[in-house]
Chains A and B, each alone.
Chain A
């Protein structure tokens, strides 16, 4: 961010923009600057498109910082460095994108309960979300949220590495570049929007004025549009830069081995990332990559605990790293009884579970449920916000309840909570989720380590709640009032 008049940090000469014009080959008569890494550097003239005279004329207009290329002094910026960050993101971002799109499927769009409801063609091919392995949603959503957090430093570093392009002069050099710069709005706007909304949502900050789910979902598709076209356009550049290495020697090891004093700027090329007038390096390439990677590790260390029980004490910055301190019921709550608006009297002795779908309605008290065969399963509960925890649950198998209702092989089941207000006061379960070995209407809960079990607390859904393997947390309905088992159409 240093202007032409600021000190030049090699303790030597000060050059003004006028004495070293950036356009092709005008600067060859200048003396090499002693001590300046790389000596005198000249930017190759861009391959101007039509109309060439217009772009040439534009390029000759003297511009102040930040549009002047001398503004960008880091000796580390260059095509190779950007390609390294790009390669990491090319592996990481598709994981975050795919797991996010999978979460939409996990919500059961076939029952109209994924948000947003009608997304046209913007979805993965629909499939029945599996009811196992039980850790499946925990894994995909953990990768989505924690993966996004871990990639944040790399996204910031990537944006840092390409910032000279934002202020490049002339702003466009061809029709192709004009279109590409517009498409970059989808890429950069998309990723920043997705990261900002995702990070805020996982921390309950809803100050946007729009609903999170549709915004994050449609924002993702704008980002996908920008990302795919960016990869198509830039992949050859990235591969070439990674293969060629320092000055075309292919010797990455050497480049990564260089100390700050040995670090030479990348050669200037048509991509306009390497600096025209680099500062003396204060950090080696290895150091910069270590700093960025270290940032990712740091974020990972303090974030992974929200979805990995053993490491929960490390989730010091996550609102979900906190403890409720109430024994078997000490795990995260996404809807308190107070927040649900349920009258606690409705959950007392008068509470009945209604099972419908068969020839006659079945009504069960909690004591009736407790007298039925009890099944115990160790299952994680995983929230879309990225936290998860493994618990031991015991209660009645959903398939036993389906049989009791007279629909032993249901197509799906509609679970209604005593709660009526919230968006997740009801959920439809797929047939495979009802019939899964470990799918329960849980009455009791304990830790994952064989500790004592207790009745579900009020906040965890007493008298009974659903727990199904690999189901998004909010669809494990609490304070269940009724289950409607629906027959297969024959």
Chain B
């Protein structure tokens, strides 16, 4: 009896590709999503909802992600080129992450606060709160400057320490 069950399970896995719990979970997901869709069935704004839902996925997976993956390529290419052409001088402290960290910090703040930095919500905000968003992009520039300069200072300190550690005789060798 136990053996038959095990065989049945193997057959099920071979046909379906996962255990039965998997099927229960995805059907549960579809049913709940279907229920939500049914609640929105008569909503006249459904085309906009659909566009923004699908657009969010396309915007991230096919636009935002390739952009930041490509943005990282020059740094990787530079490392490759350095290794290829400047083999004789070892790198004291790799610079790459001192570049990546401020870029990512500035980018994630810029992304999260994009409507404020670009003043896209300003009209509604003025109506609601009586204030504008005029100077806020400057704050973002300042923070960006702080991140890059901070990273540069840390890089310089690390570079100085590494240079002191590398004694002159070894340098000449």
At the interface, yes or no: B145 with Cβ under 8 Å from chain A?
A: no
CA A339 to CA B79, docked complex, whole Å: 56
Stretch at the interface among A132-140, A248-256, A312-320: A312-320
Please encode chain A, from 300 to 318, with 1 for each CB lying within 8 Å of some chain B CB and 0 for all others. 0011000000000000111
- B56 adjacent to A189 (CB under 8 Å): yes
Within 8 A of B (CB), among A194-220: 196-197, 199-200, 203-211, 214-215, 218-219
Write out the residue numbers on chain A whose beta carbons fall within 8 Å of the beta carbon of B143: 302, 316-317
**Nearest CB on B from A184, distance (A):** 9
Given contacts A210-B45, A210-B48, whether A336 and B16 have CB atoms under 8 Å apart is no
- B35 adjacent to A192 (CB under 8 Å): no
Select one of B17, B49, B97, B112 contacting A173, CB under 8 A: B17
CA A251 to CA B102, docked complex, whole Å: 31
Please encode chain A, from 252 to 287, with 1 for each CB lying within 8 Å of some chain B CB and 0 for all others. 000000001000000000000000000100110001
- A225 adjacent to B108 (CB under 8 Å): no
- A291 adjacent to B104 (CB under 8 Å): yes
At the interface, yes or no: A179 with Cβ under 8 Å from chain B?
A: yes
Given contacts A210-B49, A228-B29, whether A318 and B116 have CB atoms under 8 Å apart is yes
Write out the residue numbers on chain B whose beta carbons fall within 8 Å of the beta carbon of A11: 80, 83-84
- A336 adjacent to B17 (CB under 8 Å): no
At the interface, yes or no: A120 with Cβ under 8 Å from chain B?
A: yes
- B17 adjacent to A203 (CB under 8 Å): no
CA A218 to CA B22, docked complex, whole Å: 24
Stretch at the interface among B1-9, B126-134, B156-164, B165-173: B126-134
At the interface, yes or no: A423 with Cβ under 8 Å from chain B?
A: no
- A196 adjacent to B83 (CB under 8 Å): no
Write out the residue numbers on chain B whose beta carbons fall within 8 Å of the beta carbon of A464: none
**Nearest CB on A from B102, distance (A):** 10
CA A287 to CA B15, docked complex, whole Å: 42
Write out the residue numbers on chain B whose beta carbons fall within 8 Å of the beta carbon of A2: 73
Write out the residue numbers on chain B whose beta carbons fall within 8 Å of the beta carbon of A303: 112
- A294 adjacent to B109 (CB under 8 Å): no
Given contacts A48-B17, A210-B49, A226-B29, whether A9 and B108 have CB atoms under 8 Å apart is no
- B130 adjacent to A333 (CB under 8 Å): yes
**Nearest CB on A from B29, distance (A):** 4
- What residue of chain A has the Cβ atom nearest to residue B43's Cβ? A214
At the interface, yes or no: A33 with Cβ under 8 Å from chain B?
A: no
- A156 adjacent to B108 (CB under 8 Å): yes
**Nearest CB on A from B92, distance (A):** 14
Within 8 A of B (CB), among A1-18: 1-2, 7, 9, 11
Write out the residue numbers on chain B whose beta carbons fall within 8 Å of the beta carbon of A295: 104-105, 108
**Nearest CB on B from A160, distance (A):** 7
Write out the residue numbers on chain B whose beta carbons fall within 8 Å of the beta carbon of A224: 32
CA A331 to CA B114, docked complex, whole Å: 24
Select one of B13, B26, B45 contacting A209, CB under 8 A: B45
Tell me the count of chain A residues lying within 8 A, CB to CB, of chain B.
91
Select one of B21, B56, B77 contacting A193, CB under 8 A: B56
**Nearest CB on A from B130, distance (A):** 4
- What residue of chain B has the Cβ atom nearest to residue A187's Cβ? B29
At the interface, yes or no: A232 with Cβ under 8 Å from chain B?
A: yes
**Nearest CB on B from A278, distance (A):** 12
Select one of A159, A203, A221 contacting B60, CB under 8 A: A159
CA A153 to CA B104, docked complex, whole Å: 9
Interface centre among A149, A183, A335 (most CB of B within 10 A): A183
CA A186 to CA B130, docked complex, whole Å: 38
Interface centre among A173, A205, A332 (most CB of B within 10 A): A205
- B52 adjacent to A196 (CB under 8 Å): yes
- B97 adjacent to A333 (CB under 8 Å): no
Please encode chain A, from 111 to 139, with 1 for each CB lying within 8 Å of some chain B CB and 0 for all others. 00000000111100000000000000000
- What residue of chain B has the Cβ atom nearest to residue A55's Cβ? B17
At the interface, yes or no: A229 with Cβ under 8 Å from chain B?
A: yes
Within 8 A of B (CB), among A321-348: 322, 324, 332-336, 338-339
Write out the residue numbers on chain A whose beta carbons fall within 8 Å of the beta carbon of B43: 210, 214
- What residue of chain B has the Cβ atom nearest to residue A302's Cβ? B109
Given contacts A211-B45, A291-B101, whether A204 and B76 have CB atoms under 8 Å apart is no
Select one of B66, B80, B128 contacting A335, CB under 8 A: B128
Query: Can you name 13 A-B residue pairings with CB atoms under 8 Å?
Result: A9-B80, A47-B13, A179-B26, A180-B22, A182-B26, A192-B59, A193-B56, A200-B121, A221-B35, A225-B32, A229-B28, A317-B112, A318-B113
